[in-house]
Each structure stands twice: as structure tokens, then as C-alpha cells.
Structure 1
Amino acid sequence: MLNVKLIGYHMKFRINAVLFILLLCHVANAQKVDVKKAFASAGKQTDLLIRNVDSARLVKPQLVSPRTVEKGQFKMVGSKDWTSGFFPAELWYFYQFTKDEKWLKLARKYTNDIKEEQYNRGTHDLGFMIYCPFGNGYRLTRDTAYRAVIIQAARSLATRFNKTAGVLKSWDHNGDKWKYPVIIDNMMNLELLFEATKMTGDSSFYKIAVSHADHTLKNHFRPDFSSYHVIDYDTAQAGHVLQKVTAQGYANESAWARGQAWALYGYTMCFRETQNDRYLAQADGIAGFILNNKITPADGIPYWDYNDPQIPNASRDASAAAITASALYELSKYSRNGKQYKAAADHILSSLSKSYTSKIGGNYGFILEHSTGHRPAKSEIDVPINYADYYYLEALLRSK
């Protein structure tokens, strides 16, 4: 049974749900994406991407994964980069959709390049780096070697948990700025821990994930369900919050678009894994913030930050849109607002497929364009980027 606070929230959401009518005026004209055609086009691009990856590795074999195209230059990264797992994970999605052994062989080949990161205790991003490729690989093949990597990665991630603060530390850098930073992105890495408990029966992973989700729910969100990017904790004083700031958003009090997408996806996943109604209510609230926001253009692809004063002369973020669409498809299965969420996801996916895909043969083989990575650092602005492609393919699969 929902508590009084959640009942009040749902009453508020019914009122806000009227604003969905504005969205649905645009959604009503959206056509269903031809998933088979979209995958065929994406496959042609990815064939080109693989050729570019293999050529680049002849020169620098330590670089294993394609990340972006910036200033016309094809950018590869090593396995320690937080985005290294998305490219091999995409290949697993191609195999899932086509059942073509070609994609299976490629997925296995490039997934193996990230294997060593299972022992990496210096990052919170092991969910992205390990669970995206190895989790999909295990799901589709039941290869026990992949299972072992997932479990070890979860053990490595668990070392970053602080009992006093109740959360996993995100970053070890910039100690002059913060003491114990936790970013909203970290919600995405909890799936690795939930999976490890299912694989091993060790509930400690599950308990860490729930603690992190609970403290993030308590400290990361504003009354309108928008999220701060970085919460800094004092681990010596009962886990008190020291500051609420941003690193990649426009300002401390602004709503960084990809952060809102991470939050939506993260709490939807947490509800799936726990069946805790608080997480479902949180996901509903975040979805309401995203979908009711009048700043977002009619095509549903958000600006990189909802509060950038340069809007409409500001870059979009197709990666935030792809993450959001994928999350909405899943959330539509759980929420009483399911029809609205699915319609919104269809609309976003249609926009991405029609207006945000690279021309065949362009962008070195990346699928989507017009994403924003780190605008305050003047990095990866209006570019293709690998995690946009990964969540776009996932959204295509979930749309079926």
C-alpha cells in the first residue's frame, strides 16, 4: 500500500497528466518505426564502424572501442574509458535481432577486449563497461565465462560502497572540489549488483544497490523530480550532504538532460529488480518532469540542459532522448500511465530514426548524430557518440 506521501504525489501527477495532451498532439502524428529497416540501416553503419575500428587498432592496438567523432576526427578509447563497453554491447543487440552468426562472432571478439576491467576498483562505471557487453552476452549465450566476469565486476564495484553515507562513490578525481561525490549516472550501475545477487545468492550486492537507490532518491531530487548531477557526502559525519552541484550541466540548479534520462532509466530498473513502489513512483515523477517540460521541442529531443539560457540556440542531446525512449518502453509495462509512456517513446524513437541518424557512410559509421557529451568542458558538442547508439538500438528492440 502506498504511503500518504506517495498518495499525494499521485494526486499531483493526475493533475500534471493533463499536460500529456500537449505532448500527444505531436505524438498522434508519429508513425511507428520500421524496426527491421532501422536495424538494417544501423547494421550498414556498424559494418563501416568496425572497419574503421580495425584500421585504427593497427596503429594503436591499445585503443579498443570507438567513442565519437570530434572536429572531424575519429576517436577511439582504451578499455578503462567509461564508454568502452557500449560498442561491443551494440553488437550483441545486432545478434539478438538478426540471429546472424556474423554478429555473434564480432560481439564475442570485441567484448573480450574489455574483460580486464572486471578487476577495476577505480571506477563506478563497471555497469556500463562490463554489464552492458557481458550482461547481454550472458543473457544471449549463457556462457559461464561471461557470468564469472559479471560477478567479479560486481565485487570490484562493491568496494566503492561507504556504509556511513550509504552510497557508492562515483569519482576519485578533483578532491579539491568534493570529498565523496555521487553522480546521478551511478544509478545505471546498480543493475550489475542486482544481477550478481541473482547469480550468486549473495544478498550483499542487492543491499548495496538498494541503499544507494534509497539515498539517491532522498538527496538527489528537487520537488519537481528534476535531479542534481553531483551530491557530495561527508562520510565522517553520518553521511551528511555537503553540497549539491553540477559537473556537466549548465548550473548547479539546472536540469542536465542526460542526467534526467539516467534517473528515469535507473529507477525504472530498480522497480523491476525490487518491486518497490517507491521506485515506481519516482520513475513516474521523473517521466512527468521530462514529458511535461515545455522547453523540449515538438520532436521530443531535448536540449542538452533544460535551463540553458541560450535555448533555442543550444545543442540537442540525442543520447538523452535514446536513453529516455528505452526507459519509457520499460516503464510503460509497470505504470498506469503506460499508454502515454509508450506513445511518447514511439514519438521520440520516430524522431531519432527520421532526423537524427547519420547518412549511410557518414560519421565513420556511428548511427546517431547530434548528441552532447560535456558542454561545459567544450567537449563532444553536437556529435555522434557510442552510448547514444547503444540505447537507440535497445529502444528499437523494446519498441517491439
Structure 2
Amino acid sequence: MTSVRLPRPDGGTELHTLADPREWTKPSAPFTSRTAYAAAHVVPRTLAENVPGAPADIDWDRTLAYRHELWSYGLGVAEAMDTAQRGMGVDWTAAAELIRRSAAEAATVGGSIACGAGTDQLTLEAVPEGRAGLAAVIDAYREQMKVVADTGATTIVMASRALARVARHADDYAEVYATLLDEAESPVILHWLGDMFDPALAGYWGSSSVEEATETFLDVIRARPGRVDGVKVSLLDAEHEVGLRRALPGGVRLYTGDDFNYPELIVGEGTEEGEFSHALLGIFAAIYPAASAALQALDDGDPETAKQLLESTQALGRKIFEAPTYYYKTGIAFLSWLGGHQPGFSMAGGLHAGRSVPHLAEVFRLADAAGLLTSPDLAAARMRAFLTVQGVDQ
């Protein structure tokens, strides 16, 4: 049996014996009951200057190999999203290259891919006020949406820090999104990212009231339902998501972005569209074997097993995404390193320092309990090395 001495919350340590590795089955055909994307992180080049404030230096081979791992389990990849540190160490230049490379790789295996288009090429302080600012936001979106469209990937229209800064009321949001939807080459996914993920997005859709913001959001969709493939909502509020899901026009999917409550939302209340959520989740990049098994169970008409599988990962998801939620990416990269998918535990912009040793020790425990440390000897060896460097005797 493989063991690691882990920190306890009281400041002591205890010997943790890892469970036997679980065997996860890959799907033999595409999923039919749900559309599911895992928002993937990026792997930095080990010997690069990936420090705060420095441009991201990406290990392309490892980053793309991780996407192939996700595709092999039947999941789509949501590329260049906040999980990939958009605006948090990865700038638009690097994101555009990531989109092009990932879309090309997806084509080689028939993998599903959707890519984020935003406005992060703009310097917030330089965006003018008023009408000129709104025009600058629209032009920035146009540039990025064209990059995504040219690859053949589905476009995810990401929430914009620049728009949140210059918009003065709900009509400004409605005008910008109406323009983008009218010009889009094919139906897009609209992304509503809550301020718990990015404080710069507070008051998005023109109001600090979620109810008022929701009405503006729905008005935009109802005006052009044929231009919207679906909406990704990341507010960590299951009750709100269910209500929004029921209010969407027919044919518009709800892609849950709720990394706390995803089991109940994905399994849902029935089998008809509108009774469940599809998925576009950062946590799926960490739990992809279990997520795949749950989706296979749903395809087999077994929602109870699907829910059990997803619930077995829920404590891990809530730990990884606990406040400050901004740093959830650290836990995803940590598990990637433990699983051998990257040579070192590092992140662009030095974000690997965003979580404490006790936090990451608990992530290790919970991942083991969920059967997600599929190479336990490797995971244990790396965990011991990490703890030794951090001053925890092994």
C-alpha cells in the first residue's frame, strides 16, 4: 500500500494510505444525452520565466496532450477560457495561438471544441468612455470572434471586463450583444461569469441585482434565439440556474458552469430538453474520468448511477473552487501534475502559489477518495516531494 504523510487542519500530520486505483472506461461512441465541455488549463514551459507579470510561455506539447486526454474520454474542450488563465497570465496573443493549435488538434481526432472570444487585447485604462468605448469593445470582440470562426470551432462570447467598465446601463449591454449576434457566422455560446470568478465583472448586464441582470440577459437571447447555441452560466446558484433554464427559448441550451452543484444540475429533473443542464465546466478538467463515466451512464438511461458518480467528486469540486474562487485553476494544475500530465507544478504568471499547502493536501485526499489518482505511486511520490520542499517531514 502506498502512503503519504499529509498535514492535518490542526497543524499536525497523519499517514494517508492511498486507495487502489480505479479503472475508468472510455466511451465507445459520442455522448447523446448531454453536450459536455471541459474547460482546460495550460501547461507552462518548465524552465521559462512564468512569474507574475511575465507573458505566458506555454509548453505546447504538454498543453495539447492534455486536450487529447480529455477528447479520449468523450468530452469536448472549452478552449482559452478563464481556466486557461485568460487575462490572468495568458494574454490575447497567447490565447489566439492556443485557439489555433487546439482547433487543429481537435480536427485530427474529431474532437469537439469551443473557444472563448473576448476583449482582453484592450488595455482597460485606455478604453474611452461612452459611445467610443462601446465601439472599441465591439471591434475587439469582432477581432477575436473572427479568429475562432476561422478555425471552425464554436465561439463562446466571453464576458468582457472592458464592457463592464464602460457600460452605463443595461441598454449598452443589449446593443453590444445584438451587434455581435447579428454578425456571428454561426450560433454562439454566451458566457455569464460571476464576480466570484472575476471581481472586475461585478454588475454585468447592467445591474448588481441578479434578477434584473437575468431579465436583460434573457431579452438579448429572446430577440435572436436562432443565433444562440446556448448559454454558460457561472454564478454558483443552482436555484437561479434552474429558473433560467426553464425560461430559455426552445433550442437554446443551458451549459452549467456551476462547479459546486453540477451533479443535480446535469442529471436534472427528466430527459426532456430544459429539464437538465448540459456542461461547460472547469471542474471537468480535473474529474474527467468520472465525468465521462457519468455521461455514459446517462446515455444508458441510468441517472442514479450518473448522479452517484458526479456526487463522488462534489467535495473535491467544492474544495478546488472554494473562495477565493479566482484561484481554482491552481488545484486543476496540481492534479494535472500529480497525474503525470506536466513535468512540474507550475502555472503561467506564478499562479501556482495561489493555494496553501493544507489546501492542496486536502485536494490530494479528496481526489484519492474519488478514485481520480489513477497512478497512485506517481501521485504519492510527487506529493511527498512537494511536501518535503514545503517543510513537511515525510
TM (norm. structure 1) is: 0.30
TM (norm. structure 2) is: 0.30
The structure with the largest helix share of the pair is 1
